Structure formats: C-alpha cells, structure tokens
Amino acid sequence: MADSIWATTMTKSVVVKLGTSSVTDATGGVDYDVLVTIAEDVVQLRQQGWTVVVVTSGAITAGWTEVGGGKDRPSDAATLQAVSAVGQPLLMHAWRNAFGELSTAVGQVLLAPLDFSHRGQYLHARGTLESLQGLGVVPIVNENDAVADEEIRFGDNDRLAALVANLVGASHLVLLTDTDGLLTADPRLDPSATLIEEVNAIDADLVQLAGSSGTTVGSGGMASKLAAARMATWSGITTVIAPARARSPLQKALSPKTGFGTTLHPRAERLSARKSWIAFAVASRGMLTINQGALEALENDGRSLLRVGVVDAKGDFVEGDAVEIRGPEGQIVAKGLTKVGAEGLTEFDDVVVHRDDLVLLRRV
C-alpha cells in the first residue's frame, strides 16, 4: 500500500469499539453520558497526536426502542434491517451532539463484508477514512445492517473493529465493554473472579475461559472479543479489553501502566498488511485438502502449494478466490488465494496457491 496518514501516524493510532450494552441504557435508548465521556477522551487523544477511529454498535437496539412498542426484540433479518435503518440516524445524531459539545465534527462510515473482501473496495474504504482524518473529522464506523444481512449474521462489531484496525494499520485496538476486562472466571458464577491484566498468547484454554455473551442486547461476548484480539495481535496491534463506563477509559487503556482492563500483546512476528487481509478479511470460497508432503513443504520449507499436493477440492471457487487449506487429518493449516478455479484444477499442473498469497494459520 502507498504511504499515507496511517503510515506516518501508526505509532499513535487507535481504533476504539463500543458494544451495544455500552452505548445504550437500561431502556434501550442511547446512553448519551457514555458518548460524551468517549468524545472527551477522543478529543484529548487527538490533541496528544493520536489518530482515532470509533466503531460503534447500538443501531438495532436504539431503533427497536423507538418503534418496538415494548415488545420483545425480533430475530428475523428483514425486521432487524428495517429497525437498524431507524436506529442508525438516532445513534449518529447522539454521536454528533456529543462531539459537537467539543467543537469536533464526525463522519458516518457504514461498512459491509464486501468492503473488506474485495481488494478495490478495501482500499477505497481506507481512503475514505484517511480523507476524514485529513479533514479533522472523527470517523464513526458501524456495520451496514440496513442492507447487509450477512453483517447481522456474523453480528458483533468486535470483528469489524479488528478489521478496521488492520485496514488503517493502527497501533492499538481498544474494545470497550460492560466488564472490567478478561477475568479468571465468569463473575456471575464465581464472585472470586479476578482480572487478567496481561496476555501474551491467546490459546485454547483462554478461549474456553472467555465463555459466551452475558447480555441480551448485543451479539458479541468475551469470546468474540478474544477472536477480534487474535486477529489484531497477529497483525501486530496491541489490544485492550476494558470497561466503557470508567472515567477516561481510553486514556487509561492506552496508558503504559497495567491494571486497567486486559492488555493483549501483539505477536513478535507481524503479518504484512496484505497477508492480514488474506487471513482475516477475505471470505473463503472453497477448501483444498493436501497430502503430508505438501503440508511439510508449506510449513517447513515455505513453498507454494502445487497441484500434485492437492488430494481433494470443494467449492465453486474461481481464480483469485480465497480457499481454506486443510492437512491430511482435516486440520486447517493455511488460507490463500488460488491461481486456478475449481473447474480447471484437475488439468492444472503448476502452482495452485503461490507462497506470496498464502498464510500459514498454525504458525500465527
């Protein structure tokens, strides 16, 4: 990617995400006090030289509070899309007023999966965020619920925030939530649960510890935040999970002092921006199963995947699509962009996935 504002400010660049339970109150309406607190933090950070992008949830909940008449929240995609269309302007109006008190302009950016999976759209989205920053405008990002039902299915904005952090090459990702951070146990079940202040590696035990969502208004949970943190830390981005309703939560989350929230440290070996895009942003359109020889060539020798190593293929992928690559025992070992479509795979006798277009998932 070409040099940009992100490249020059990456050492002080943060994406902050607020979940539905953090931006709405007990009635489902927008919690304006929280938005003002975040706006004050963001403005102070910008004065300190930080570049800041805000990723917000809450449109569906705010919309249903407006038109639902006290009924239970619907679950069908068509109604949720319509409700989001009601709630999104309410949410943005609140953000505009919160930042307006500090004489700071905001700009709405609605993103859908296509904006990340299509390389051209990906770069356009990055350019839009960069231009907003150049104008002194704080980007307020949300998923495009009103038209993209796929967004509602994969749901939470934790993943979106991690993708945005990778998109802009942020140095930090802060996931603000309704808990103190990652705890040693579910505090609803174990009152003695304590805060885990630092994490150097996200392993299976940690994922199991995270559990499931503890609220009824959002679609994410601690497991979702760990998944987002994994994406970000693989890309070299320091991630902090912290309480949204604390005083100056962003300032505290970005402080070098520990003790506020959970800090998840990035991997020493950072994925390039392009390989991060392949690993996390592009949806897989098929699956290739490879033999043991090909597995060893990929993992031990850094080779490309050749046709001779492919024993099975599934999906209707075409040249340039992303595919999962599985080992002889069915384990996911890599993801990459194919140089040949599924129909021509049997006649193809050369490189199927070039090593420059391949990410080894068991090493990262």
Per-residue pLDDT of 26-64, as tens digits, reads 888 899 999 999 999 999 999 999 999 999 999 999 999
Distance from C-alpha of 113 to C-alpha of 125, rounded to nearest angstrom: 11
3-state secondary structure 30-92: ECHHHHHHHHHHHHHHHHCCCEEEEEECCHHHHHHHHHCCCCCCCCCHHHHHHHHHHHHHHHH
| 8 Å CB contact between 182 and 194 | no
Distance from C-alpha of 48 to C-alpha of 138, rounded to nearest angstrom: 15
Domains and CATH numbers, the chain: 5-274 (3.40.1160.10), 283-360 (2.30.130.10)
Question: Residue 265: pLDDT above 70?
Answer: yes
**Residue 193 has which token pair?**
């649960």
- DSSP run (H or E) holding 277: none
pLDDT band at 203 (very low <50, low <70, confident <90, very high): confident
Task: Give 336's contacts (C-beta < 8 A, 6+ positions apart).
Answer: 278, 305, 322, 323, 325, 353, 354, 357, 358, 359
Instruction: Look at 336 and 280; give whichever has higher pLDDT.
Output: 336
Question: Residue 177: pLDDT above 70?
Answer: yes
Out of 101-110, 125-134, 145-154, least confident range? 145-154
Question: Residue 6: pLDDT above 60?
Answer: no
Question: What is the per-residue pLDDT for 9?
Answer: 43
The mean pLDDT value for 324-343 works out to 94
Token match 């009103």: residue? 146
pLDDT band at 7 (very low <50, low <70, confident <90, very high): very low
| 8 Å CB contact between 132 and 107 | yes
Distance from C-alpha of 322 to C-alpha of 284, rounded to nearest angstrom: 5
Distance from C-alpha of 261 to C-alpha of 93, rounded to nearest angstrom: 29
pLDDT band at 207 (very low <50, low <70, confident <90, very high): confident
Question: Residue 2: pLDDT above 80?
Answer: no
Sheet holding 172-177, edge to edge: 106-111, 138-143, 51-56, 13-18, 172-177, 238-243, 262-264, 198-199
Length of the chain in terms of residues written: 364
The mean pLDDT value for 154-182 works out to 88
Mean of all residue pLDDT scores within the chain: 87
The mean pLDDT value for 155-176 works out to 89
CA distances to 31, 129, 224, 254, 348 from 98, in Å: 11, 20, 28, 22, 58
Question: What is the per-residue pLDDT for 153?
Answer: 45
Question: Residue 302: pLDDT above 60?
Answer: yes
Percentage, residues of the chain above pLDDT 90: 58
Question: What is the per-residue pLDDT for 148?
Answer: 61
| 8 Å CB contact between 192 and 256 | no
Percentage, residues of the chain above pLDDT 70: 90
Amino acid identity of 361?
L
Question: Residue 296: pLDDT above 70?
Answer: yes
Task: Give 76's contacts (C-beta < 8 A, 6+ positions apart).
Answer: none
pLDDT band at 149 (very low <50, low <70, confident <90, very high): low
User: Each residue of 276-294: b (16+ CB within 10 Å) or e?
Assistant: bbbbbbbeebbbbbbeeeb
Instruction: Look at 153 and 241; give whichever has higher pLDDT.
Output: 241
DSSP state of 269: S
Out of 88-102, 158-172, 258-272, 325-339, least confident range? 258-272
| 8 Å CB contact between 309 and 293 | yes
The mean pLDDT value for 131-159 works out to 77
Question: Residue 304: pLDDT above 90?
Answer: yes
Question: What is the per-residue pLDDT for 221?
Answer: 74
Task: Give 102's contacts (C-beta < 8 A, 6+ positions apart).
Answer: 39, 40, 43
Question: Residue 284: pLDDT above 80?
Answer: yes
Name the residue among 252, 196, 225 with its Cα closest to residue 57: 225
Question: What is the per-residue pLDDT for 79?
Answer: 92
